[in-house]
Amino acid sequence: MKTPANFAITCAITVNLAWLLLVPASHATAADDAGIAAVKALLSRKCLSCHHGEDAKGKLDFTSRESLLTGGESGPALVASSPEKSPLWQRIEQDEMPPKHPLAADEKRLIKNWIATGALWTGAGLDPLLASSDHRAGFDWWSLQPFQVVPIPAGNLATPRRQPIDDFVAEKLVQRQLQMSPEASRQVLIRRMAFDLLGLPPEPEAITQFVQDPRPDALERLGDELLASPHYGERWARHWLDVVRFGESNGFERDLPRPNAWPYRDWVIQALNNDLPYDDFVRWQLAGDLIAPGDPEAIKSVGFLVAGAHDTVAPVVDRMRAVMRQDELEDIVGTVGQTFLGLTVHCARCHDHKFDPITTREYYQLASALSGIDHGEREFTPPEVTRQLNTWQALIEQQSKQLRDQESPLREQILVQRALGQKVPAVKARGPSPLAAWDFTRDLQDLVGPMHAQLVGSAKQTPEGLIVDGTSFAKTSPTSQDLLEKTLEVRLQLKTLLQSGGGAISLQSVDGNTFDAITYAELEGGRWMPGSNGFQRTLSYRGTAEDRADQEVVTMTQVHQADGTIVAYRNGQPYGNPIRKEAAVKYEGGKSQVLFGLRHGTDASGNRTLNGRIVAAKLYDKALTAEEVAVSADASNTFVTEAEIMAKLDPAQQTVRQERQQALRDLRQRHADLTKRGPSVVYTAIATQPPPMKIHQRGSVSSLGEEVAAAGLVAVQGLNPDFELRPDAIESHRRQKLANWITNPRNPLFARVMTNRVWHYHFGVGLVDSPNDLGFHAGLPSHPELLEWLAGEFASRDRSDPLAAGNPETIPQTRDPERFSLKRLHRQLISSAVYRQSSQSQPQAMKIDANNRLLWRMNPRRLEAEAVRDAMLAVAGELNTEIGGKGYTDVNSYFFKGTQFYDPIDPVGHANHRRTLYRMGARGGRSPFLDNFDCPDPSTTAPRRSTTVTPLQALSLLNHSFSLRMAEHFADRLSHQSPQPEQQVEAAFRLVYGRQPDQRERELSRQFITQQGLAPFCRALWNSSEFLFID
């Protein structure tokens, strides 16, 4: 494929060949730059792909005159002024170099005359990245160039024109003596537009209204109506999630689920529905948490950065952990590069890119900007929920204060009476009996049963208690019985408050894969939290930050109720608010144990260990009440029971106290219920300060080179790649600079990539047929000027804007409100005559352009797997149109021998009849029905869906349980509309195909229903190309 750069080089060779032939060798001097430039261009184009750098073939480097004179393994390649003695010329003359594509005769003469005239050389040496060649792209590659103002071709009277798009397409067609196909019927157009913009079939009433609309702008009005639908965001979110490899499990060996990943998906839907400008859309996904710190929407948006797979099996060997981290960083860098720049930047991790002008150094500069990103969960509470919770919390504190004010003098009076030995009206309540108890100031023995503890690592038992130093812990022998309800209690003192995630006490399965623990500062600095495997039962208590546990012993208690509610107490008093996320876990007797100083696992590594001393601990086989917790935690006989306090009050005071207590319980219940609604956390990017990034020689973590600062790509023309940062710059500055560089309106790749991507989804193939790659392997666009014009329009609607021509002046402060508007881009495409064409084939056009790259017709396209399922639900009248929120699950998930398994099921019910976008997309959770229609694996980016035709597709539509069930619902819908087969046939055709049946179809359908029944007829209708394809 001849590139624009190759064309320019050919012209230069032709002109300068004539010059070299006319100029005598004796007159050739270093000033003859034009002729020498032609030789250098030819060497760059034909030779440098094999002969440059450390890996040059034969150790022969063509990048300078000196290296040619020095030569390689076979000696000097060049003898100045003597072609016959030059091995370079001898190989060229014999067509041995280049080996696969020998030089043309005029190119050979150019080289021979250059050598004969002294092999003069001016200027710098050859840079393989500067000029494009037959083997790779250079800085002059078309997609890397600044925006150019492209004139709209003159219209062709024989071609319908509705948009400038049509003029660009018509110009190409005329050159090949082709013309556009006639406009498709309105029935075809509304079905095409409905599936393209909403992913759903149009309702019969909407079809009738559109077909009968006499207004000349009926199609434009229909487009506006569809773009205003909330289902537009769902349709195009599906495309976007394909590109960014969004999945709802971690992948790899364990493949644990991500139950809180869905808020990112909802953020994408909302952003698209709101037509958030594309540059803001991207900027928020890269750095939303920096743009609007603390904003729940910002926290959701950066879920993009961690939408990919995440290996949670941490190797013991440091080197393997470093390799795993670099692999994950490559995935993030690769996704950012392909999604927003259309370049496979990650291919330069181990060596300079083989095909695009990207160096290894530049890869690590980009990696530096993203190296502070890690997978994790952050608290997520909608603003309206926060406001309500704050209101109730204030009322809770008010009621609590009134109760404390009432009981405080009574408590002091009771304690004084005890000290004086006086009889008080009520005796101290007796505490509950624990299943196991340990007093580590004495020994490691269980004071109740056989669950004795043993030390691991450097842990020590002393008269002060169990000493754990952050690298050690203690564990018990297995439990003697099953535990569902349970209470964990621990008395401890921290070495320092500056810890992050250590477990004080934990109940775990002996393999460490399932656990419930009291942890300190795991997700929230300075706060106690419930730890659990995969954070499945972990939410914030919203308790106060710890400020005394490094100075005195505190008692932490965690109560696990059967329904999954977890309640925390500090020193016998409620800590924060109860939480509930999932049902309680049952721990099997003989297969579970207690840990002290470790969150979970079998070794002391990572942030799972605690640093401090543990004085005592208890394990209960029941969920203690608040009073029982207080009694158990009391070690100094200072606890005063409710009965003692009530005995000091008269009946009227008792009534008031009981009313206040009931009001407090009601408020706490409301607070707890609201806290339980939706996820309190969202799976998203967690930013930490990374060390300076070093170049990894050949990608090895064991061979580190120089430090590099975060920066962009030099190859992107008209854009300064220097972020002006130091290698040790703070994480937020690195990422913010990268986001601004990528979304700069003068970044030509940014607009070209997205414009081509949107075109791809509307026409089935992009103007560049590789949506994620606009580098060398992409070749040229089918319509370069059209892509340039559309991208320029997308980035700057005002064509007089200086950035359209790559002007480096300051970006105007007043922003065009439709700049980077995706909905405006949709309108341009769907209102064009090119889009409105029929998909009918033309024999003559097929001979000239079988792949329809010239766009002489509309490409028929098969529905994606999700659209097939959604359309069946819609036609059957069973589609649940609820938008957003936690999705449905079509797998039976269970954990076995260290791996999460996802067995496919076919769930029944309205809640499971939501759009397939809301399917819980576990990476290991495949759906046979969807897979048969090429549903991609979310482990990798899928910018272009595969389209196969297999017998399994027809069999699924006929025999899969989902198809059978939907056919019954469809038949019920038709029966309710009319008991007559004739009317049922007509209604079915309108719902499935968007048209009326013809006479023959009516008769055959009526006979089929009579013989086989209505439900089999419904299955037969959607088991057809007319249903599965968009014409």
Distances (CA, A) of 186 to 65, 231, 367, 825: 67, 21, 50, 22
Q: Based on the fold, state whether residues 367 and 443 are members of the same structural domain.
A: no
pTM listed for this prediction: 0.71
pLDDT tens sequence across 303-318 = 999 999 999 887 888 8
Query: Is residue 932 a part of any domain in this protein?
Result: no
- Three-state SS at 746: coil
Of all helices (H) and strands (E), which one includes residue 861? Answer: strand 861-862
Residue 939 near residue 253 (C-beta atoms within 8 A): no
pLDDT digits (tens, 9 = 90+) for 904-916: 999 999 999 999 9
pLDDT at 817: 72
Provide the pLDDT for residue 583. Answer: 80
Is the CB of residue 680 less than 8 Å from the CB of residue 539? Answer: yes
Decide which of 740, 765, 781 is a domain's last residue.
Answer: 781
Residue 109 lies in a domain: yes
Q: 503 and 366: one domain?
A: no
157 confidence band (pLDDT: 50, 70, 90): low
Together in a domain, 494 and 585: yes
Closest CA to 643 of 865, 407, 356: 407
Of the given ranges (54-63, 566-575, 577-586), which has the lowest mean pLDDT?
Answer: 54-63
Give 820-829 pLDDT, tens digit per residue.
999 999 999 9
Task: For residue 682, give the 3-state DSSP assignment.
Answer: strand
- Which sign, positive or negative, has the C-alpha torsion 539, 541, 544, 547? negative
| Spatial distance between the Cα atoms of 852 and 763, rounded to a whole number of angstroms | 11
Question: Which CATH number goes with the domain that contains 527?
Answer: 2.60.120.200
Counting the structural domains of the chain, the total is 4
Q: Is 531 helix (H, G, I), strand (E, B) or coil?
A: strand
Question: How high is the pLDDT of residue 80?
Answer: 85
Q: Is residue 645 part of a domain?
A: no
Question: Judging by beta carbons within 10 Å of its beta carbon (0-12, 13-18, 19+), is residue 903 exposed, middle or buried?
Answer: exposed
User: 375 with 446, same domain?
Assistant: no
CA distances from 414 to 204, 421, 573, 657, 989 (A): 79, 11, 19, 18, 84
pLDDT band at 431 (very low <50, low <70, confident <90, very high): low
Q: Which pLDDT band holds residue 382 (cuts at 50, 70, 90)? A: confident
Task: Give the Cα separation of 191 and 293 in Å (integer).
Answer: 43
Q: 441 or 31: whose pLDDT is higher?
A: 441
Q: Which residue has the tokens 């019927």?
A: 185
Q: Are residues 587 and 470 in the same domain?
A: yes
Judge whether 351 lies within some domain. yes
Please, is 390 exposed, middle or buried when counting C-beta atoms within 10 Å of its C-beta (0-12, 13-18, 19+)? exposed
Phi/psi of residue 369, each to 5°? -70, -20
At 207, the pLDDT band (50, 70, 90 cuts) reads very high
367 and 509 together in one domain: no
**pLDDT tens digits, 908-943:** 999 999 999 999 999 988 999 999 999 999 989 999
Q: Which two tokens stand for residue 114?
A: 């250059």
pLDDT at 807: 34
468 and 550 part of one domain: yes
Q: Are residues 364 and 441 in the same domain?
A: no
Identify which has the larger pLDDT, 514 or 64. 514
In a domain, 479, yes or no: yes
Of 613, 639, 665, which residue sits at a domain end? 639
- Are 448 and 514 in the same domain? yes
Q: Which residue's entry shows tokens 């040619």?
A: 68
Rounded to whole angstroms, the Cα distance separating 187 from 207 reads: 6
Q: How confident is the model at residue 558 (pLDDT cuts 50, 70, 90)?
A: very high
* C-alpha 33 chain-centroid distance: 51
Within a domain: 290: yes
Do 393 and 400 touch, CB atoms closer than 8 A?
no
pLDDT > 70 in the chain, percent: 92
List the one residue out of 998, 995, 1021 whose CA is nearest residue 202: 995
697 and 596 inside one domain: no
Question: 290 and 360: one domain?
Answer: yes
- Residue 704 near residue 697, CB atoms below 8 Å: yes
- 537: its two tokens: 């039962």
Q: Same domain, yes or no, for 498 and 570? A: yes
Q: How many residues does the chain have?
A: 1031
- pLDDT for position 425: 52
Q: For the chain, what is the radius of gyration of the CA atoms?
A: 36
Domain that includes residue 64, residue range = 4-135
The answer to whether residue 532 sits within a structural domain is yes
CA–CA dist 1011, 1017 (Å, integer) = 10
Q: What share of the chain is helix, strand, coil (3-state, %, to 5)?
A: 40, 15, 45
Task: Indicate the residue type of 689.
Answer: Q
CA–CA gap between residue 945 and residue 601 (Å, rounded): 41
Instruction: Report yes or no on 792 lying in a domain.
Output: no
Beta strands 460-462; 373-379: pairing state: unpaired
pLDDT tens string 506-540: 999 999 999 999 999 988 889 999 999 988 899 89
